[in-house]
Amino acid sequence: MLLYGIKNVDIYAVAVSFSLILLIYYDYHQAVLASDLVEGLSISRDAPKIVTELEEFEVHVIAENLSGTDIPYITIRDSVPEYVEVQRKPTASMILPRGEAVGFSYKIRPVLSGSHTLYGLTVRVGGPLGFFVVETELRSPTSFTVLPYSGGVPLRLKSLERLWGLIVPGRSTGGMYDIADLREYSPGDDYRKIVWKALARSGKLYVREDFGEVTMRLLLMLDVNAINWELGTPPNTLASIELRVLRSIVETLAKYGVSVDVAVCCSATTKVVRNATEDVERSLVDIFSYITPYCSCSSPITVFLEAPTYLGRSVEDYSAMLLVVNPVAVASENPARFLELVRTFGRKFKVVIPRFEYENYIDKEDLAKFYSTLASLVERAEGSVEMLEENLTLRPIKRG
Amino acid sequence: MEVVEILIYVATVALTSLLTYVTGVDLISLAAAALTAYYASIGSNMTVISAITVVLVSIVRIATARPVKSRKALMVKLKYLTTMTTVIAIAIPIAYISAGTAIQLQLVDPWPLAILIAASLYVLVYGLISPTTLHLVSVSFWDMLDLEHVEEFLYKSGVIIGALAMLINVATHGVLGLIMMLIYIVTLFATMKMKLLLHRVVVSLIMAVTVAITYIYGYT
């Protein structure tokens, strides 16, 4: 432009180009100053530690300028992990006065349960005009645990009652009928356990809980493999459904006071949680913070043979050993190893197969054959196989 | 101003606005700057419009940056906006006066002189602002104007533009240009040793006057 002005003896063009040159120089100067201030920046995130699958929540990013100079223009972009749907752009441009803290927030919705981590922040500082920018990557890991969805799915798994015939409302396994506690009636409770005197006194429905009614100790095992995440589409991958089954079983059994130990294999090591039903929420967080989306158990299925030892118990301490597994995982497992598991746990061994559209991935006839073979194998050792009837799939996510 | 030129401008601004929204990187200013160069090369009147676009985009960018309601941030935004305005307010008249003066002198080649006058005036304005800034920088209004930076880049711009003029002189006028460049370099070194800001201004003025006399002597 300057050359054009000079060539054509255009005073206006020369004047404008001079001012632009000055402005660009000013912007460069400010960008250089700002780039020196990046180290004096304190950038943090604020996000809830525990959320539920598909729950929408806000992440706050706060930048504080600890230096004594204003930062003319700063753009912060947060890196959102995969399998987390972004509801609002995780980026904002700000002016950061000295000593001030400025932030922005965006909404995300995780579509897979487990532990998620927000890692890097891209910080771009520059002059006020934006001609010159300096980009820096800052590491600022923030983790949150996504629990599988539980609202809206049948928490009280009827299939479990049929599975071992112990949790039958209104009947005490120990034969004792001494009242241990009274609690408020909740839908699904047996009407025969309603304490009518309590209703007359308080006007509220109470049900009794008897000693001896809950005497079981259960080992709940879950084997998560990489392929489980590939079958189905988020949020309804096979792994997601298995995790929902795990949560549902723990919560259902907790309601009946059953003591449940959990063993989950989703990496090279097995995560064990003793007596998960004692403090359900804490235990669930403990379990699901170990699971990361697309994690895979790299150990053979016989790794669960050691689970009682890891938990400081023996096989004899358990009333039942419940393995949540799917046909694909069992089919890909070495049959000898699976048999070893069946033989070791014997009649206490229960195989739970979550409801899923297996027919979309396996031939129907092959699937029927597989079920029959599996049932005969497990039943030969006096165990049992149960296919859950509960549909734990979620509606597809609607954007907006 | 042809329809095609206007259409190119509208299409470029629309496309880069969309890309800026998608990528989050300001591409409008860069595209407008490129357009400015293009329009200048074909001698179009759209040059000024695209140049103004560059400045306007920056103003909007600053004005809409977060936080919107913070008073402190508002003051900082005002500071940058007023600084930009000050720069334009200083630069355009200086350039205009310099070019106008050089052309009125009816030299064979007026532009090196025009640039040199502009450089000298930049340094002169810098010299006038500096003492004021020292006393008034603590006052929030003057702080808001960011005069410290204005004076700094006025001085640097003056020096750089002066060097450019000297190089043009060497290329176009041979030995005479070389002599002037030597005078310029000596003057610069002399000013760098001086502690008082006003001395630099005096030396710069002497430099400008010397060069102007040389020109008139050589070419009229």
User: Is the same domain home to A344 and A196?
Assistant: no
User: Is the same domain home to A128 and A277?
Assistant: no
CA dihedral B196, B198, B204, B210 (to 10 degrees): -110
Query: Is the Cβ–Cβ distance between A348 and A305 less than 8 Å?
Result: no
Domain that holds residue A15: 11-147
User: Is the same domain home to B172 and B193?
Assistant: yes
Please write the tens of the pLDDT for every residue from A248-258.
888 888 877 78
User: Is the same domain home to B94 and B10?
Assistant: no
pLDDT at B204: 66
CA distance A104 to chain B (A): 8
Q: Is residue A283 scored above 90 in pLDDT?
A: yes
Select the more confidently predicted residue: A283 or A5. Answer: A283
pLDDT at A273: 94
Query: What number is the average pLDDT over the span A124-128?
Result: 85
Please write the tens of the pLDDT for every residue from B79-103.
778 777 777 777 778 877 877 887 7
User: Is the same domain home to A66 and A86?
Assistant: yes
Q: Is residue A98 scored above 90 in pLDDT?
A: no
A312 occurs within a structural domain:
yes
Contact list, A128 vs chain B (CB under 8 Å): 58, 61-62, 80, 83-84
The three-state DSSP-derived secondary structure of chain A is: CHHHHHHCCCHHHHHHHHHHHHHHHHHHHHHHHHHHCHHHEEEEEECCCEEECCCCEEEEEEEEECCCCCEEEEEEEECCCCCEEECCCCEEEEEECCCCEEEEEEEEEECCCEEEEEEEEEEEEECCCCCCEEEEEEEEEEEEEEECCCCCCCCCCHHHHHHHCCCCCCCCCCCCCCEEEEEECCCCCCHHHECHHHHHHHCCCEEEEECCCCCCEEEEEEECCHHHHHCCCCCCCHHHHHHHHHHHHHHHHHHCCCEEEEEEECCCCEEEECCCCCCHHHHHHHHHCCCCCCCCCCCCHHHHHHHHHHCCCCHHHCCEEEEECCHHHHHHCCHHHHHHHHHHHHHHEEEEECCCCHHHCCCHHHHHHHHHHHHHHHHHCCCEEEECCCCCCCCCCCCC
CATH at residue A221: 3.40.50.410
Q: Is the peptide bond before A235 cis (omega within 30 degrees of 0)?
A: yes
Please write the tens of the pLDDT for every residue from A19-67.
777 777 778 878 888 888 888 788 999 999 999 988 899 999 999 988 8
DSSP result, B97-132:
HHHHHHHHTT-SS-HHHHHHHHHHHHHHHHHHHHHH
User: Is the same domain home to B124 and B17?
Assistant: no
User: Is the same domain home to B139 and B180?
Assistant: yes
Please write the tens of the pLDDT for every residue from A152-199.
445 455 666 555 554 444 444 444 455 666 778 877 777 777 888 888
User: Is the same domain home to A50 and A163?
Assistant: no
What is the pTM for the complete model shown? 0.72
A229 occurs within a structural domain:
yes
User: Is the same domain home to B56 and B120?
Assistant: no
Query: Is the Cβ–Cβ distance between A273 and A259 less than 8 Å?
Result: no
User: Is the same domain home to B126 and B185?
Assistant: yes
| Interface contact A130-B26, CB threshold 8 A | yes
A6 occurs within a structural domain:
no
| Interface contact A18-B94, CB threshold 8 A | yes
User: Is the same domain home to A253 and A365?
Assistant: yes
User: Is the same domain home to B111 and B214?
Assistant: yes
Tally the domains of chain A.
Answer: 3
Please write the tens of the pLDDT for every residue from B208-220.
666 666 666 655 4
User: Is the same domain home to A182 and A233?
Assistant: no
pLDDT at A49: 92
Domain that holds residue B215: 71-219
Residue B67 sits at φ, ψ, to 5 deg, of -80, 150
User: Is the same domain home to A193 and A81?
Assistant: no
Q: Is the peptide bond before A97 cis (omega within 30 degrees of 0)?
A: no
User: Is the same domain home to B48 and B77?
Assistant: no
User: Is the same domain home to A196 and A135?
Assistant: no
Q: Are strands A57-65 and A101-110 parallel, antiparallel or unpaired?
A: antiparallel
pLDDT at A173: 43
User: Is the same domain home to B112 and B152?
Assistant: yes
User: Is the same domain home to B56 and B79?
Assistant: no
CATH at residue A85: 2.60.40.10
Domain boundary residue among A89, A116, A147?
Answer: A147
Lowest mean pLDDT among A282-291, A366-375, B51-60: B51-60
In whole numbers, what is the pLDDT of chain B averaged over residues? 74
Q: Does A30 touch chain B (CB under 8 A)?
A: yes
Q: Is residue A110 scored above 70 in pLDDT?
A: yes
pLDDT at B219: 55
Please write the tens of the pLDDT for every residue from A330-381.
888 888 888 898 889 988 888 989 989 888 888 888 888 888 888 888 888 8
pLDDT at A169: 44
A396 occurs within a structural domain:
no
CA distance B42 to chain A (A): 9
**B199-202: long-range contacts (C-beta < 8 A, 24 or more apart)?**
B200/B123, B200/B127, B200/B155, B201/B123, B201/B124, B201/B126, B201/B127, B201/B128
Query: What number is the average pLDDT over the span A57-86?
Result: 88
Domain boundary residue among A177, A197, A213?
Answer: A213
User: Is the same domain home to A134 and A282?
Assistant: no
CA distance A34 to chain B (A): 14
Tally the domains of chain B.
Answer: 2
Most confident listed range (A9-13, A115-119, A248-252, B17-21): A115-119
User: Is the same domain home to A185 and A290?
Assistant: no
Residue A69 sits at φ, ψ, to 5 deg, of -125, 145
pLDDT at B209: 67
Query: What number is the average pLDDT over the span A125-135?
Result: 83
pLDDT at B207: 62
User: Is the same domain home to B14 and B90?
Assistant: no
Residue among A104, A37, A54 at smallest CA distance from A76: A104
pLDDT at A144: 93
Q: Is residue A267 scored above 50 in pLDDT?
A: yes
User: Is the same domain home to A227 and A348?
Assistant: yes
Contact list, A16 vs chain B (CB under 8 Å): 47-48, 51, 92
Q: At what angle do helices A280-288 and A238-255 cross, to 10 degrees?
A: 160
Please write the tens of the pLDDT for every residue from B139-187.
555 555 566 666 666 677 667 777 777 777 777 767 777 877 787 777 7
In whole numbers, what is the pLDDT of chain A averaged over residues? 83
Select the more confidently predicted residue: A6 or A322. Answer: A322
User: Is the same domain home to B148 and B107?
Assistant: yes
